[in-house]
């Protein structure tokens, strides 16, 4: 059945006929299609024979393979020692060597397990974690030194301080402090009040920490008194929450004592006042919508309808339906996945057929595999005589790069495909060495990639055939825009481009700069939607109670959400301060933000992943893409400025069919995002009230720990200063010992100054604020225009032809100018001619001969320098092994060939003359 269906579909691509990428498929040589077909047949395990193929495997777009050496599936298998159907007929030793080093062995009995149950759940629980830091950690700059330097870490300082506090506590009898703090800042450390420590150094809240304690005053009164939370009074009136927020979901009994109140927030925000305001804008926005829709229809290729599901759809959606090669199926199976997720079902076939894609699917829906699986499948059939980097995956953060790299390695485990991770914080030298070997794929952050483009000899993006931009809406933001432009220009236009994000934009204006070829738009969910498995809660923070937030957070994390919690802060300093406070309270927290070294960042993630730390205190650095199995709760200590960031932050939990909770502290300034969240939510949004008495108790605690926390931070600061001095001394020593070598190193170049970068960042924020409808402070774009090479972004062949033409033109200009000058010189001098040597006043009409002369001089020097350009370029590409020449075979060789083109055109010109 499978065979007949696939035959039937062979001439009927699953995608629109008019698609722009068909050219790619047309150029696919015979060998590649045959190889794909062979792969399709041989890779199909027996168990898949009943599966109905949903796309035509023969139309798989192959990596450029105009070389004769296209690998057949057998050869690929043979190269890593896997059994092919005909073991004896496998690759020879020589072929094996040529095909690359042996990877893991594929079991000859391997068949893809289709009945693995709901692996999403198993995986989500921790079956196949995406994270493997070994490769990244090995590449961290000066990793070994890092350990020494960090010997006296913040953890040690906190631990010491806790011991000190414990000792002091033993010496000083406990003194009760009043429930209400008047001047908490002035409290002495010794005045621990009713907050005591147990033998293990944990704080004990004597006054009713026990949740069963019913001997409490009325919660509402308490809340009034503390002002931290509680009754939902006037402040929120204008968002019309009041009445409904009073609704109790829990029974009275449950709400007695110190338990938080959790009530349903109303959906009123969707109607009423706002709608009235909107009405006036309705007509205009309708018109805009029509225009936009028309533009979109012209820009995007029609989206193929999802296949109609049979009654038993679960059995039809399997990885074997994609006709993937066996090494990939085996790797997918090893990772514990049995069925593709909906976004994988829809995007993998299109991606295999080399379509440009613009994909939006909810957080945690499996987008990483959605782009990696087809890439690896296609790379299996790449030409291999000359190594080349054909795939580039751009990610916005280093950690996301590490994660994506780790998944790519796992998926490529049974293949000879190589990957390089080029993100900041890891050793540039290690990366440079890797890039020299031309890995098949590079996973990079934009900044580090450009660094290599400018400073790693011979590294170019000329050979990129597939470009993936993960979290594409983020990378399309202004902060990255200059870098993105630079990268796009450096890659060939013929590449396949795939954009992925949970909040993907389909605004044409944003997408045009990526020079997409009729991309297919796959929006599996609304870009504003969050999974229904996520429970959203809001904790209100009144304007004058902002300073109670640390106490509220401690209350939440000590009483309600005690483990597998990620807390997002707006600033690095706040995250760090909280880390100290958590530590002093005996709560085990890791931190993740930009003030840490890369090693510390990775270690933080590791300790949180391994459940050594119950809390991860971080900035938005961790808001996108990070996939840490088992996160139960996300707390927005500071509400993000944009709803998109809110979606991404909340998306760290309730991933891969798991459920989760997102709790947000909402202050006066956060209403815009709150409204959007409420509007977009299909489920009820909860309002959590932490009893005022509880908040007060934690306020006492925070006040008491303020001084010790400050001491820890002071100690840390001193430690850093000492470290800084040590590093300076080391630098000076190095300079003294290796001065010549250090000074002899080529200076690094960068396409933006630090000020430009900062300005770009600011502009990004401004634009974002404007998009959010918030007040915009105009930042003038005073950046100097970025100087880019005239030929950036062109293929090597086109570059050479254009350069040759330019040289010809200059040469012609030179010749005609010199001919004219000679002609002029041969004319008899006019009577009134002023001698050339005499100076003329400058200004209009005053330039005379002197100006012409200088123009000539400029021209000729320009010719000279231009001529040097291509030579230099070809020299560097030769030095790099000419890896890319295989990708543009028709474009010819190196400098020698270029010279020929020049002389050919010149001689033609001369003939014409
Ligand atoms: N086919 C599958 N079956 C089971 N689990 C899967 C499958 N594909 C991916 N997963 C799991 O789903 C989780 C989320 O995947 P991934 O990180 O790719 O999501 P995402 O859509 O990129 O999320 P985000 O938008 O947050 O970046 C991962 O833990 C992964 O192991």
Please indicate whether residue 625, judged by its CB atom, sits closer than 6 Å to ligand 1.
Answer: yes
Interface pTM (ipTM) of the complex?
0.99
Please indicate whether residue 123, judged by its CB atom, sits closer than 6 Å to ligand 1.
Answer: yes
Expressed in angstroms and rounded, the spacing between residue 655 Cα and the centre of ligand 1 is: 7
In this structure, the residue with its CA closest to atom 20 of ligand 1 is 364
From the alpha carbon of 652, which atom of ligand 1 is closest?
26
Expressed in angstroms and rounded, the spacing between residue 630 Cα and the centre of ligand 1 is: 13
Please indicate whether residue 333, judged by its CB atom, sits closer than 6 Å to ligand 1.
Answer: no
Among the residue ranges 435-444, 586-595, 894-903, the one predicted with the least confidence is 894-903
From the alpha carbon of 629, which atom of ligand 1 is closest?
29
Structure tokens at 178: 């009043």
Question: What are the pLDDT digits (tens) for 291-339?
Answer: 888 888 889 988 887 766 655 555 567 899 999 999 999 999 999 999 9
Name, in order, each residue with C-beta under 8 angstroms of 910's C-beta and a sequence gap of 6 or more.
none
Please indicate whether residue 363, judged by its CB atom, sits closer than 6 Å to ligand 1.
Answer: yes
Among the residue ranges 41-50, 378-387, 407-416, the one predicted with the least confidence is 41-50
Expressed in angstroms and rounded, the spacing between residue 661 Cα and the centre of ligand 1 is: 18
Mutate-to-test residue for ligand 1 from 338, 364, 372, 529, highest number of ligand atoms within 8 A of CB: 364
In this structure, the residue with its CA closest to atom 4 of ligand 1 is 120
Structure tokens at 84: 């092919």
Kindly report the number of other CB atoms within 10 A of residue 407's CB atom: 21
* Residue entry with tokens 């919660």: 219
DSSP string over 798-816: HHHHHHHHHHHHHHHHHHH
Expressed in angstroms and rounded, the spacing between residue 14 Cα and the centre of ligand 1 is: 25
In this structure, the residue with its CA closest to atom 14 of ligand 1 is 364
Please indicate whether residue 319, judged by its CB atom, sits closer than 6 Å to ligand 1.
Answer: no
Q: List the strands of the sheet with 534-540, edge to edge.
A: 261-265, 685-689, 534-540, 660-666, 633-636, 565-568, 615-618, 589-592
Expressed in angstroms and rounded, the spacing between residue 342 Cα and the centre of ligand 1 is: 11
Expressed in angstroms and rounded, the spacing between residue 368 Cα and the centre of ligand 1 is: 6
Expressed in angstroms and rounded, the spacing between residue 424 Cα and the centre of ligand 1 is: 24
Name, in order, each residue with C-beta under 8 angstroms of 531's C-beta and a sequence gap of 6 or more.
362, 363, 364, 651, 654
Please indicate whether residue 451, judged by its CB atom, sits closer than 6 Å to ligand 1.
Answer: no
Please indicate whether residue 609, judged by its CB atom, sits closer than 6 Å to ligand 1.
Answer: no
From the alpha carbon of 337, which atom of ligand 1 is closest?
3
pTM of the model: 0.66
From the alpha carbon of 501, which atom of ligand 1 is closest?
25
Expressed in angstroms and rounded, the spacing between residue 756 Cα and the centre of ligand 1 is: 36
Per-residue confidence at 899, pLDDT binned at 50, 70, 90? very low
Question: What are the pLDDT digits (tens) for 345-357?
Answer: 999 999 999 999 9
Between CA 124 and CA 590 the distance in angstroms is: 21
Per-residue confidence at 407, pLDDT binned at 50, 70, 90? very high
In this structure, the residue with its CA closest to atom 10 of ligand 1 is 366
Mutate-to-test residue for ligand 1 from 314, 368, 534, highest number of ligand atoms within 8 A of CB: 368
More confident residue, 350 or 4: 350
Expressed in angstroms and rounded, the spacing between residue 382 Cα and the centre of ligand 1 is: 27
Please indicate whether residue 656, judged by its CB atom, sits closer than 6 Å to ligand 1.
Answer: yes
What domains appear along the chain, each with residue ranges and CATH number? Answer: 319-523 (3.40.50.300), 534-719 (3.40.50.300)
pLDDT of residue 263: 74
Expressed in angstroms and rounded, the spacing between residue 466 Cα and the centre of ligand 1 is: 21
Please indicate whether residue 349, judged by its CB atom, sits closer than 6 Å to ligand 1.
Answer: no
Question: What are the pLDDT digits (tens) for 566-621?
Answer: 999 999 999 999 999 999 999 999 999 999 999 999 999 999 999 999 999 999 99
From the alpha carbon of 656, which atom of ligand 1 is closest?
12
Per-residue confidence at 438, pLDDT binned at 50, 70, 90? very high
Question: What are the pLDDT digits (tens) for 458-493?
Answer: 899 999 999 999 999 999 987 888 899 999 999 999
Please indicate whether residue 368, judged by its CB atom, sits closer than 6 Å to ligand 1.
Answer: yes
pLDDT of residue 522: 93
From the alpha carbon of 365, which atom of ligand 1 is closest?
21
Per-residue confidence at 880, pLDDT binned at 50, 70, 90? very low
- The full 3-state SS of 99-119, as one line of letters, equals HCCCCCCCCCCCCCCCCCCCH
**844 pLDDT above the threshold of 50:** no
Residue 497 pairs with which residues in a beta bridge?
467
**543 pLDDT above the threshold of 80:** yes
From the alpha carbon of 335, which atom of ligand 1 is closest?
31
> Does residue 223 sit in helix, strand or coil?
helix
Between CA 200 and CA 639 the distance in angstroms is: 35
Please indicate whether residue 655, judged by its CB atom, sits closer than 6 Å to ligand 1.
Answer: yes
Q: How far is CA 288 from CA 278, 283, 293, 676, in A?
A: 14, 9, 8, 21
């Amino acid at each position: 059945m499978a065979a007949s269906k696939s035959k039937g579909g062979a001439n009927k691509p699953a995608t629109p006929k008019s698609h722009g990428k068909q050219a790619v498929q047309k150029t696919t040589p015979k060998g590649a299609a045959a190889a794909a077909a062979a792969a399709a047949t041989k890779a199909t395990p027996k168990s898949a024979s009943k599966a109905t193929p949903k796309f035509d495997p023969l139309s798989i777009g192959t990596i450029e393979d105009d070389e004769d050496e296209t690998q057949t599936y057998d050869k690929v298998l043979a190269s890593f020692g896997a059994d092919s159907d005909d073991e004896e007929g496998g690759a020879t030793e020589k072929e094996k060597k040529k095909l690359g080093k042996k990877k893991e062995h594929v079991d000859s009995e391997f068949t893809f397990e289709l009945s693995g149950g709901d692996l999403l759940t198993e995986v989500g629980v921790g079956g196949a974690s995406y994270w493997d830091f070994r490769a990244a950690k090995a590449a961290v700059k000066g990793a070994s030194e890092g350990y020494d330097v960090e010997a006296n870490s913040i953890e040690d300082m906190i631990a010491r301080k806790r011991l000190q506090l414990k000792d002091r506590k033993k010496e000083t009898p406990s003194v009760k402090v009043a429930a209400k703090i008047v001047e908490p800042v002035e409290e002495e450390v010794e005045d621990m009040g009713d907050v005591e420590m147990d033998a293990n150094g944990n704080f004990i809240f004597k006054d009713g920490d026990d949740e069963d304690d019913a001997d409490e005053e009325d919660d509402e009164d308490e809340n009034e008194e503390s002002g931290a939370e509680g009754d939902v009074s006037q402040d929120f009136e204008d968002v019309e929450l009041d009445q409904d927020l009073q609704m109790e979901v829990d029974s009275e009994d449950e709400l007695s004592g110190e338990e938080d109140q959790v009530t349903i927030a109303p959906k009123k925000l969707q109607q009423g006042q706002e709608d009235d305001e909107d009405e006036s804008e309705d007509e205009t926005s309708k018109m805009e919508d029509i225009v936009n829709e028309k533009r979109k229809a012209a820009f995007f290729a029609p989206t193929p309808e999802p296949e109609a599901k049979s009654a038993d759809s679960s059995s039809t959606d399997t990885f074997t339906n994609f006709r993937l090669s066996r090494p990939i199926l085996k790797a997918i199976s090893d990772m514990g996945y049995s069925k593709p997720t909906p976004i994988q079902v829809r995007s993998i076939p299109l991606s295999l057929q080399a379509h440009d894609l613009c994909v939006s699917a909810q957080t945690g829906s499996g987008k990483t595999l959605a782009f990696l699986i087809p890439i690896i499948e296609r790379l299996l059939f790449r030409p291999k005589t000359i190594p080349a980097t054909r795939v580039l995956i751009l990610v916005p953060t280093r950690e996301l790069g590490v994660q994506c790299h780790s998944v790519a390695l796992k998926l490529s485990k049974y293949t000879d495909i190589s990957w390089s991770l080029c993100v900041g914080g890891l050793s540039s030298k290690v990366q440079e060495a890797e890039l020299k070997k031309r890995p098949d794929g590079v996973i990079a952050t934009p900044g580090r990639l450009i660094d290599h483009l400018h400073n790693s000899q011979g590294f170019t993006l000329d050979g990129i055939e597939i470009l993936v931009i993960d979290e594409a809406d983020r990378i399309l933001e202004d902060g990255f825009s200059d870098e993105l432009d630079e990268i796009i220009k450096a890659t060939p236009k013929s590449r396949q481009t795939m954009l992925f994000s949970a909040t993907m934009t389909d605004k044409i204006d944003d997408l045009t700069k990526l020079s997409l070829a009729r991309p297919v738009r796959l929006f599996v969910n609304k870009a504003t939607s969050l999974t229904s498995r996520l429970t959203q809660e809001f904790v209100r923070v009144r304007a004058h109670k902002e300073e109670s937030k640390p106490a509220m957070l401690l209350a939440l994390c000590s009483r309600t959400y005690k483990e597998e919690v990620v807390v997002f802060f707006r600033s690095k300093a706040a995250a760090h301060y909280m880390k100290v406070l958590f530590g002093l309270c005996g709560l085990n927290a890791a931190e993740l933000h930009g003030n840490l070294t890369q090693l510390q960042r990775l270690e933080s993630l590791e300790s949180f992943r391994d459940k050594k730390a119950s809390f991860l205190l971080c900035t938005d650095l961790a808001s996108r893409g990070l996939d840490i199995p088992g996160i139960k709760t996300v707390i927005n200590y500071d509400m993000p400025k944009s709803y998109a960031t809110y979606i991404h932050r909340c998306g760290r939990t309730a991933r891969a069919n798991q459920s989760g909770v997102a709790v947000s502290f909402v202050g006066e300034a956060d209403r815009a995002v709150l409204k959007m969240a409420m509007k977009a939510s299909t489920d009820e949004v909860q309002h959590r009230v932490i009893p005022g008495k509880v908040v007060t108790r934690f306020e006492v605690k925070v006040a008491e720990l303020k001084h010790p926390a400050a001491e820890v931070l002071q100690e840390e600061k001193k430690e850093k200063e000492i470290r800084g001095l040590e590093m300076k001394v080391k630098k000076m020593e190095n300079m003294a010992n290796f001065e010549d070598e250090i000074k002899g190193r080529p200076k690094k170049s960068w396409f933006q100054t630090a000020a430009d970068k900062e300005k770009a960042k600011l502009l990004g924020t401004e634009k974002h604020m404007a998009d959010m409808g918030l007040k915009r402070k105009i930042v003038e774009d005073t950046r100097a225009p970025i100087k880019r090479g005239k030929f950036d972004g062109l293929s090597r062949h086109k570059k050479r032809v254009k350069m040759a033409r330019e040289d010809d033109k200059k040469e012609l200009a030179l010749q005609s100018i010199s001919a004219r000058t000679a002609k002029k010189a041969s004319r008899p001098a006019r009577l009134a001619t002023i001698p050339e040597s005499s100076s003329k006043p400058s200004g209009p009409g005053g330039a005379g001969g002197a100006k012409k002369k200088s123009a000539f001089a400029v021209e000729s020097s320009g010719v000279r320098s231009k001529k040097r350009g291509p030579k230099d370029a070809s020299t560097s590409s030769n030095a790099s092994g000419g890896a890319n020449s295989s990708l543009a075979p028709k474009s010819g060789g190196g400098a020698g060939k270029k010279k020929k083109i020049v002389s050919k055109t010149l001689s033609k010109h001369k003939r014409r003359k």
